[in-house]
Amino acid sequence: MELTKKTHACVRLEKDGSTLVIDPGLFGAADDAVGADAVLVTHEHPDHFAEDRLRAALEANPGAEIWTLRSVADQISAAFPGRVHTVGNGDAFTASGFDVRVYGELHAVIHPDLPRITNVGFLVDGSVFHPGDALTVPDHPVDTLLLPVMAPWSKVSEVIDYVREVKPQRTIDVHDALLTDLARPVYDTHLTNLSGADHLRLAPGDGTGL
pTM, full prediction:
0.96
What pLDDT does 111 receive?
97
97-126 as b/e: b if 16+ CB within 10 A: ebebbbbbbebbeeeeeeeeebbbbbbbbe
Here the CATH number for the domain that contains residue 145 is 3.60.15.10
| 101 lies in some domain | yes
In a domain, 37, yes or no: yes
Domain tally for the chain?
1
210 in a domain, yes or no? no
Q: How far is residue 10 from each of residues 46, 75, 136, 140, 199, measured CA to CA in Å?
A: 12, 20, 18, 22, 18
What DSSP letter does each residue of 23-74 carry, written as one string?
A: ---TTS-TTTTTT-SEEEE--SSTTT--HHHHHHHHHH-TT-EEEE-HHHHH
Residue 205 lies in a domain: no
| Residue 125 within a domain | yes
Residue 203 within a domain = no
Question: Residue 204 has what pLDDT?
Answer: 95
Q: Give domain status of residue 90, yes or no.
A: yes
pLDDT given for residue 67 in this prediction:
98
What pLDDT, on a 0 to 100 scale, did the predictor assign at position 98?
Answer: 98
pLDDT value for 22: 98
pLDDT for 109: 97
Write out the H or E segment, with its range, that includes residue 192.
helix 184-194
**pLDDT score at 183:** 94
Q: Are 33 and 39 in contact (CB under 8 A)?
A: yes
73 neighbors 84 (Cβ within 8 angstroms):
yes
High-pLDDT (> 90) share of the chain, %: 100
Residues in the chain predicted with pLDDT less than 70, given as ranges, are none
Supply φ then ψ for residue 57, to 5 degrees: -65, -45
Domain range holding 45? 2-197
Q: What is the pLDDT of residue 21?
A: 98
